[in-house]
Structure 1
Amino acid sequence: MKFAKIGMVLLLIAVLVVSGCSDSEESPEEVSEIAEDLGVDVMSTSFDDFGVVFCDPETSQDEIAALVDEEYKGNFVQWTGTISAITDNGNSYTAQIKHCPDSISDAGVTFKPDQNEAASQLIKGQEITYLGRVTRYQKGVGFWVEEASIVS
């Protein structure tokens, strides 16, 4: 039963991706210059690519963790969300980012040390676009995105 749910979630994502690609009225967000300068392939430019499943209260944490491990882990994303908290870790900053309507935080985003000056200016409630590598999913916390840069 558990694997059937995971299969259905993967099928739903595949259908959404295919249908999104064929919709010529909506233009996908562009990959930032930062991604191009770094020479990284960006797997997703909108949290909506994953948010349909992630924000659904019927989707279990185990299903989300499996999907992240299979599809997102190790890949770069460029997403826009709202800052719910920002922390100075000494060497870098970590922001908690809200993407789902009824959440407090869906991603912990740790910025590269060369982003410290810009990250120190971030404030709670501010909308931010960031580029980073998804490293893991933690139940109750959400995505962990590291090596992140702020996209202007």
Structure 2
Amino acid sequence: MKIFGERTLNPLLWYVNRKSISKAVFIGTFWGMMPLPFHSILIVLTVLLFEVNLPVSLCLAWLTNPFTLVPILYLGFWLGSKIFQVNMIDQDMMLGVLHQISHAITHFGHGHIDLSLAKILLSGLILEAFIFAIVFFVITRLLWRWNIIQHHKRRRNFQ
């Protein structure tokens, strides 16, 4: 956070309201669904650009973890294969791609990734991230509204 300096002290990045939180959920979910190294930096840059809640967005960076990586990649390949109208890859190819990705990440880009598969995967991942981000955004807005309605009902019943 130090590299971003005074910008992270902007009060708007710590503000809690319906719009700030729901937009932060969108940003965090979108980048959190992208299995990229250092995606937290992309989250912080996007949050600084749109001035939404920083902690919520950063928490959602953990959507991609060792337990969720394979389902995220599988769904990304499936969506990408639908976009490009090609057959879905089999289990052996999926393991090969996972090995290529992990090798490229651990060796800082010095590895081979099949570009035809990368195009399918990347397009599927972008669509997947966008869909999940929209769904989480809408759910956040609905839950926030429901909470406010419940609060008003309790207050009315109390009086």
**TM-score normalised according to structure 1 size:** 0.24
Higher strand fraction (1 or 2): 1
Q: Which has the higher contact order (CA 8 A, sep 6+)?
A: 2
Higher helix fraction (1 or 2): 2
**TM-score normalised according to structure 2 size:** 0.23
